Amino acid sequence: PDLDQVVTAPSAPFAATSGAPACAPAARRASTRKVAIVVAYCGLGYAGLQRNPNVRAVEDDIIAAAVRAGRVPAELSSDMKALWWCRCARTDKGVHALANVLSFKCVLPHDECVDGVATTLNAHLPPTVRVLAARR
């Protein structure tokens, strides 16, 4: 399925519920937006930035955090194309990064500033991986 279809489905997080009053809070409505995040990480314990089978990659932790934060539907977390996932560069095993840029389509409630993406992802990331900024 497409990310936009999953988000607009009635069971999706933040989706408007049937019978909701017209003055329902805007936080109940959401859409997907392409968001770029600037990340910094310590590469120790990782096989690099890019996801690969049977190894731990930084992208694995970022996508898992996005799922836990409700930014990415769990059923799409393994489909990088459905997320429109893009990275500016890659790092090898054990290499650190100070400002790598990643972009992906994420769930963004209409009343939330894109800066909230960095905050919610950081709440679910290990201390060795930080989102420094988020922009549309």
pLDDT band at 1 (very low <50, low <70, confident <90, very high): low
The residues carrying an active-site annotation are 92
Q: What is the mean pLDDT of residues 1-17?
A: 47
Q: Categorise residue 14: left if φ over 0, alpha if ψ from -120 to 50, beta otherwise.
A: left
Supply the pTM of this predicted model: 0.78
Q: What Rg do the C-alpha atoms of the chain give, in angstroms?
A: 15
Q: What is the structure's pLDDT at 31?
A: 85
Scored b (16 or more CB within 10 A) or e, 77-98 reads: eeebebbebebeeebeeeeebe
Q: What is the pLDDT of residues 48-104, one digit of tens each?
A: 999 999 999 999 999 999 999 999 999 999 999 999 999 998 899 989 999 999 999
Q: Does position 123 have pLDDT exceeding 80, yes or no?
A: yes
